[in-house]
Amino acid sequence: MTATPFDDFSTWARDLSISLSRAQSEKLALFVTELWTWQGKMNLVGVSTQDRLIRELLLDSLVPAPHIPRTGTLLDLGSGAGFPAIPLKICMPRVRFDLLESNAKKAAFLNEMIRILELERIRVIHARIEESKKMLDPQGYGTITARAAASLRQTLEWCGPHLERNGLLISFQGKSWRKALDQGHHVMKKQGLVLSRTLVYTLPGTSAERVILCFSKSGAP
């Protein structure tokens, strides 16, 4: 049997404490297949191979999964091609997802993936966060994710007001995360955010350090 780029994914996921059912793994593989087909028509992601897509985007998106509540609401800021929102939604069917995306073509792609993958309790909001207050949940969100949407400081400024009390804000960072954290300190205080967890990891076949910063909202700013 010919090996595929997805063959090692389940092992990689287990090594990162990510639990997946067979049905979830199959749906993730379908997402990768569909995304790669669309990639040939429009530039959705900045990787050149399916292997890199699986390692650097799909697997990376699932790293915070063990730390996210399995019920409630989640807002994904700047969803792009669906990372981390689509993989997380596949693994968290009971969570209601809002995907915020300002690019019309990418928003259309996200809606098509939701249809193909038969995902429920998920919607795409085609807007910028600065203009979307009336479209977002007025009660706030239990979890907000942000992957390469903006600087950490700007992300904290945008997302803090939309986070429930005791909610979780998850920001994907690279090697300069300490500097970004220092620059965002004032905004953290202003928004009532506290750094509650720092996940430091490397992806299979890579040596670059990656970091996910988890902030909790301690109360009203």
Q: Are 135 and 125 in contact (CB under 8 A)?
A: yes
Residue 149 inside a domain? The answer is yes
Share of the chain above pLDDT 90, in %: 79
Residue 114 placed within a domain: yes
Residue 124's SS3 state is strand
> Does residue 172 fall inside a structural domain?
yes
Q: Residue 83 belongs to what domain range?
A: 67-217
Residue 220 in this model has a pLDDT that exceeds 70: no
Listed in sequence order, the residues at least 6 apart from 180 whose beta carbon sits closer than 8 Å to its beta carbon are 151, 152, 153, 173
Residue 46 lies in a domain: no
Q: How confident is the model at residue 195 (pLDDT cuts 50, 70, 90)?
A: very high
CATH number at residue 78: 3.40.50.150
pLDDT at residue 3 greater than cutoff 60: no
Residue 29 placed within a domain:
no
Q: Using pLDDT thresholds of 50, 70 and 90, give the confidence band for residue 221.
A: very low
Model pTM score: 0.94
Residue 30, number of CB atoms within 10 A of its CB: 15
DSSP, collapsed to helix, strand or coil, labels residue 27 as helix
Q: How confident is the model at residue 79 (pLDDT cuts 50, 70, 90)?
A: very high
pLDDT in tens, 119-177: 999 999 999 998 888 899 999 999 999 997 789 999 999 999 999 999 999 999 988 99
What pLDDT was estimated at residue 118?
97
Q: Which residue has the higher pLDDT, 13 or 41?
A: 13
Report if residue 19 sits inside a domain. no
Q: Decide if 44 is inside a domain.
A: no
DSSP H helices, 4-134, are: 9-15, 22-39, 50-52, 60-62, 85-91, 104-116
CA distance linking residue 145 with residue 163, whole number of Å: 11
Asked if residue 134 is part of any domain, the answer here is yes
Number of separate domains in the chain: 1
Band of residue 1 on the pLDDT scale cut at 50, 70, 90: very low
